């Protein structure tokens, strides 16, 4: 692929022009936005298209089948993290970002054009499953490659601020999918969306992947990987072993810390940002229109919080963000849940999401920098990507079902205790983690 950005090394990265910085952030960010747009669209429209892929004479069975396919996408994320982590450390961060984007867009497009149960019978579910597996596989790859790319391209003094842009764009993708759901429902009604209009967001997601590919085509490979690739070629020429697994094993402590740190952050991101609106409508019977606008406003507020906490980490250090989140969440989880579950008033959701967004923004802003900063260049992508994807699949993939099941059993407090325990692990992992603010990457 053609490259127009000059190679940069070490402190020279700080001399990037404003336009070059914008191109890097936009190229990475649009891909992340599309990844999460696709991911969120499935969650939003699952109830509409469930009957299209599973036998429609039982609505509950159809929905459960669709949700099982949703969970399968989570299970593919560690495999995507494993493959694309290895790929990014061997073939380059930019190429890994492009290929993972192509895989996810292909999965989205496949869902959008898949034949229904009425057309081909039970085989329709196979197309849905394949599309979701591609989305999950590509999503795992997007995380490892984009986190690593941003970390290696950012000037060391503002790496936290650059890092915050990743989940800023993620939130834009979530908002876009949510608003599109509202627009399609308003234009075509629930029945029209159920019959055919649910396909629109998936087709749009697949086609917009082409635009993301165009943006990423103009990005340069990171100078750190270029240097590492030259060293790797030289080692191969001498017959030296170049396996990455012994190096990953040397950093197993960092891998365990990432699992502990990301488990709590991932679950609470889903609880406060993704699951809260659905729970408010379904279980608490709040006004859907009010919930939509509160959710949109909360996510816009979240973007501002991300930028602030990214900037703050470049001033006072990354570890403060983890302490703020872990301690704050352990103190406020139960009070916030009591407020949220106290009635059908919309202000309860607003308080719950706003407080949650402030807390979860602190670690989310710096994850894309803090996790890669734990590893050297030769295993940076796979070192942070595999444990992050595993934690996301195990905790994030099960959180919606665990919360709904405990609530249905009349024991919602057990879920709060589960969240507090996860935050305790975050606090312990943060204490034993090294400070990485301003760290020179090797």
- The domain spans of the chain are 18-218+244-432
Model confidence, pTM: 0.84
Confidence bin at 116 (pLDDT 50/70/90): confident
Alpha helix (H) residue ranges in 317-440: 319-340, 346-370, 380-391, 399-408, 412-432
Residue 344 confidence class, pLDDT cut points 50, 70, 90: confident
- Report the distance separating Cα 390 and Cα 392, nearest Å: 5
Alpha-carbon distance of 65 to 50, in angstroms, equals 8
Give me the count of residues in the chain.
442
Residue with tokens 């994850």: 367
| Contact (CB, 8 A) for 44 and 70 | no
Q: What is the pLDDT of residue 242?
A: 64
**Beta-carbon count within 10 A of 274 CB:** 22
Least confident of 78-82, 95-99, 135-139, 213-217: 213-217
The single residue listed with the structure tokens 């040397």 is: 250
Model pLDDT for residues 170-206, shown as the tens digit of each residue: 999 988 988 888 888 888 888 888 888 989 999 999 8
Helix, strand, coil percentages (3-state) for the chain, rounded to 5, are 85, 0, 15
Distances (CA, A) of 200 to 16, 80, 106, 119, 406: 39, 26, 14, 19, 34
Cα separation of 189 and 184, whole Å? 7
Q: How far apart are CA 10 and CA 19, in angstroms?
A: 19
Among 40-49, 62-71, 269-278, 416-425, whose mean pLDDT is lowest?
Answer: 62-71
- C-alpha–C-alpha distance, residues 71 and 90, integer Å: 30
Question: Tokens for 357?
Answer: 């967004």
Over 90: is that where the pLDDT of 48 sits? Answer: no
Class of domain 18-218+244-432: mainly alpha
CB 255 within 8 A of CB 386: yes
| More confidently predicted of 363 and 189 | 363
């Amino acid at each position: 692929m053609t490259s127009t950005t000059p190679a940069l090394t070490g402190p020279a990265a700080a001399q990037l022009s404003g336009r070059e910085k914008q191109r890097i952030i936009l190229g990475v960010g649009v891909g992340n936005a599309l990844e999460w747009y696709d991911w969120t669209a499935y969650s939003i429209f699952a109830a509409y298209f469930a009957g299209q892929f599973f036998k429609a004479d039982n609505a509950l069975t159809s929905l459960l089948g669709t949700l099982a396919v949703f969970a399968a996408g989570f299970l593919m994320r560690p495999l995507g993290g494993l493959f694309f982590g290895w790929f990014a450390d061997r073939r380059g961060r930019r190429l890994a970002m492009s290929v993972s984007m192509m895989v996810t867009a292909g999965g989205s497009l496949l869902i959008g054009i898949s034949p229904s149960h009425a057309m081909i019978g039970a085989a329709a579910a196979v197309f849905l499953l394949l599309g979701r597996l591609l989305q999950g596989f590509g999503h795992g790859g997007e995380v490892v490659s984009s986190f690593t790319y941003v970390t290696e391209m950012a000037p060391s003094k503002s790496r936290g601020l650059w890092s915050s842009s990743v989940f800023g764009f993620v939130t834009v993708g979530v908002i876009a999918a949510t608003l599109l759901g509202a627009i399609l429902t308003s234009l075509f009604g629930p029945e029209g969306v159920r019959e055919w209009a649910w396909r629109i967001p998936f087709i749009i997601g697949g086609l917009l992947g082409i635009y993301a590919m165009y943006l990423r085509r103009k990005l340069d490979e990171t100078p750190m990987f270029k240097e590492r690739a030259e060293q790797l070629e030289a080692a191969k020429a001498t017959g030296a072993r170049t396996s990455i697994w012994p190096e990953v094993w040397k950093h197993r402590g960092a891998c365990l810390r990432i699992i502990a740190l990301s488990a709590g952050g991932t679950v609470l991101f889903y609880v406060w940002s993704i699951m809260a609106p659905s729970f408010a409508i379904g279980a608490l019977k709040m006004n859907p229109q009010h919930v939509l606008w509160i959710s949109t406003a909360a996510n816009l507020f979240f973007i501002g919080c991300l930028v602030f906490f990214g900037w703050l980490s470049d001033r006072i250090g990354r570890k403060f963000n983890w302490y703020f989140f872990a301690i704050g969440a352990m103190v406020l989880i139960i009070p916030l849940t009591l407020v949220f579950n106290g009635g059908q008033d919309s202000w309860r959701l607003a308080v719950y999401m706003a407080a949650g967004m402030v807390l979860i923004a602190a670690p989310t802003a710096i994850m894309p920098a803090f996790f890669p900063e734990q590893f050297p260049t030769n295993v940076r992508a796979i070192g942070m990507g595999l444990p992050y994807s595993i934690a996301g699949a195990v905790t994030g993939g099960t959180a919606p079902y665990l919360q709904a099941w405990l609530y249905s059993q009349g024991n919602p407090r057990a879920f709060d205790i589960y969240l507090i325990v996860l935050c305790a692990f975050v606090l312990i992992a943060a204490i034993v983690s090294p400070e990485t603010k301003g760290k020179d990457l090797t």
